[in-house]
Amino acid sequence: MTTYRVGQAAELLGVSADTVRRWTDSGRLRAGRDRGERVIDGADLARLLTETAPAADEAPVIESARNRFAGIVTQVEKEGLVAVVHLQAGPHRITSLMTREAADDLGIEPGDLAVAVVKSTNVVVEVPRPQ
């Protein structure tokens, strides 16, 4: 199970660490303990990000290639040779189509932190290397 430190969750949610702590205390966000430190359940963080994502009211600004969107994996669909990975990066919902083998190699699951790298019409998904 993937977990996030309170500060990481706060950054991804766009709120303060104190707000994340209040949300865990109230039960809005599931948390546990890892070596005495409060950690946030990745799948529950993905749920909250999806529920609270603001609508993208206007088109994003024009930027150069190689745009990077850090976010949380919300869904992974695997069928046959193909995998579809959905990420929520702030107000942006990003979908990447890749081979099932690539998704299996990444070991990607809902709640995982990932980065969508966009160049032209291709979306590449990156995850931190296991420590």
Q: pTM of the entire structure?
A: 0.57
Nearest to 125 by CA among 97, 91, 92, 90: 97
pLDDT beyond 50 at 79: yes
Cβ contact 114:127 at 8 Å? yes
Instruction: Give pLDDT tens digits for 92-127.
Output: 899 999 999 999 999 999 999 998 888 766 677 888
Cβ contact 46:74 at 8 Å? yes
Residue 128 token pair: 């931190």
pLDDT beyond 90 at 1: no
